[in-house]
């Protein structure tokens, strides 16, 4: 597999070697490292992690293309769906985007919200990476007029004071450090990373109470134990993470978009090695130990677990549906510019297909929303709700 991947240049190798040394030193001091810790360092180690360093991640020059990078239709459609709630919340409403990628979503969403008289008081971008914050700032101020750009603020941690508005997260949960587990003689083990003969290797250690309890909860919900040797991912920290980012929201909406499955599909018997995917220069592979710091590591989302976490945090469940159905119900086709030139029409048609067709992002990506203090929010999602699958 690795022979089919492009080789990094000398600077990239040196960058990866620095992260390898950091991880190796921690393993030498503390013993085998839980995979979740390894994933966290690979993605977020200051100055060295995949999302913390300066390489281009998004678009044709990066390692993958997200929905906002396909053009403005995605952000415009999301903004159109959220605009009524922002207007209902009034002039103090704020918009919080987790992550933010290149800043493309913020630019297109703010333009659409302005056209719909639904501008938030502030557009907050929660972005822990200093490099990505700088890229987003440059893009926002280059693309938006001064009055719109002035509404954008960057924050490094979730709001702690009470606020009202909407929170949106596209491809965020898949990048939370995932715990990998397996079963041996009916007991739960956690996958860890060790260092042997100058190389990282994967080893299994008995799981602690938090991980074992999370796995047993899934088994109870599925109605059957996992078979010995079954290996997959779980996010025991998901309820605490959601509580941390959303607890101060007094009134408003949470909308998540990500690739994933309902629990019964996530843990299918044939999916016996989990859902972990690595991305390197638009190539997907399954080796998370390959060039740490240069490779994106993600795991699909268990949307049943997300529903449990949202309701457990005190929010009302709004709905769940494949992304394509939600976007079409939210008026995606109405946003097409029939007056545009031929090139633009082809570009828009291509984007719509990628966003909505089952073989593209339309089925692989799912959306889920929660509300607090808003009755009847997101009617387009309620119309296509498939929460019975959860």
Q: What is the pLDDT of residue 64?
A: 58
Q: In this predicted structure, what is the pLDDT of residue 55? A: 56
Q: Estimate the share of the chain in helix, then strand, then coil, as percent rounded to the nearest 5.
A: 40, 25, 35
The per-residue pLDDT for 4 is 77
- Report the pLDDT value the prediction gives residue 3, as an integer from 0 to 100: 47
Query: Are residues 179 and 38 in contact, defined by beta-carbon separation less than 8 angstroms?
Result: no
Residue burial 262-286, b: 16+ Cβ < 10 Å; e: rest: bbeebbeeeeeebbbbbbbeeeeee
CA separation for the pair 383, 374 (Å, rounded): 17
CA distance 255 to 242: 12
Q: Which positions of the chain have pLDDT values less than 70? A: 1-3, 54-64, 338-339
Q: Which domains does the chain have, with CATH numbers?
A: 1-390 (3.40.50.12710)
Q: What is the pLDDT at residue 1?
A: 39
- Taking only Cα atoms into account, the Rg of the chain, rounded to an integer number of angstroms, comes to 21
Decide: pTM greater than 0.85: yes
- The pLDDT value given to residue 2: 45
- Residue 375: its pLDDT value, please? 86
Which two tokens mark 317? 């469940």
Say if residues 275 and 266 touch (Cβ distance below 8 Å).
Answer: yes
State the pLDDT at residue 95: 98
Question: Chain-wide mean pLDDT for the chain?
Answer: 93
């Amino acid at each position: 597999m690795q022979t089919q991947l492009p080789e990094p240049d000398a600077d990239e190798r040196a960058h990866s070697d620095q992260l390898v040394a950091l991880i190796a030193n921690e393993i030498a001091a503390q013993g085998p490292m839980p995979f979740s810790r390894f994933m966290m360092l690979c993605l977020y180690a200051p100055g060295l992690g995949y999302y913390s360093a300066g390489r281009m991640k998004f678009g044709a020059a990066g390692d993958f293309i997200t929905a906002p990078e396909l053009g403005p239709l995605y952000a415009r459609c999301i903004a159109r769906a959220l605009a009524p709630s922002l207007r209902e919340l009034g002039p103090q409403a704020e918009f919080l985007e987790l992550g933010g990628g290149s800043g493309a979503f913020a630019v297109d969403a703010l333009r659409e919200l302005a056209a719909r008289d639904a501008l938030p008081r502030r557009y907050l971008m929660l972005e822990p990476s200093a490099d990505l914050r700088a890229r987003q700032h440059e893009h926002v101020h280059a693309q938006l007029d001064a009055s719109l750009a002035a509404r954008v603020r960057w924050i490094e941690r979730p709001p702690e004071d009470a606020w009202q508005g909407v929170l949106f997260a596209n491809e965020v949960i898949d990048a939370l450090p995932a715990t990998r587990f397996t079963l041996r003689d009916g007991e739960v083990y956690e996958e860890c990373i060790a260092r042997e003969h100058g190389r990282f290797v994967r080893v299994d250690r008995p799981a602690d109470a938090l991980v074992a309890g999370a796995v047993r909860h899934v088994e109870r919900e599925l109605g059957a134990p996992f078979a010995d040797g079954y290996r997959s991912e779980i996010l025991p920290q998901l309820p605490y993470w959601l509580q941390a980012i959303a607890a101060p929201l007094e009134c408003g909406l949470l909308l998540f978009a990500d690739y994933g499955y309902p629990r019964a599909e996530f843990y299918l018997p044939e999916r016996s090695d989990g859902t972990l995917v690595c991305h390197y220069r638009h190539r997907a592979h399954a080796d998370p130990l390959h060039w740490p710091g240069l490779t994106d590591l993600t795991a699909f989302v268990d949307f049943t677990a997300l529903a449990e976490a949202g309701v457990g945090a005190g929010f009302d469940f709004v709905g769940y549906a494949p992304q394509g159905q939600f976007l079409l119900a939210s008026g995606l086709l109405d946003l097409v510019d029939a007056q545009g030139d031929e090139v633009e029409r082809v570009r828009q048609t291509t984007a719509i297909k990628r966003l909505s067709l089952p073989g593209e992002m339309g089925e692989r990506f799912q959306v889920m929303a929660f509300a607090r203090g808003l009755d009847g929010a997101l009617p387009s999602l309620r119309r296509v709700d498939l929460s019975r699958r959860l």
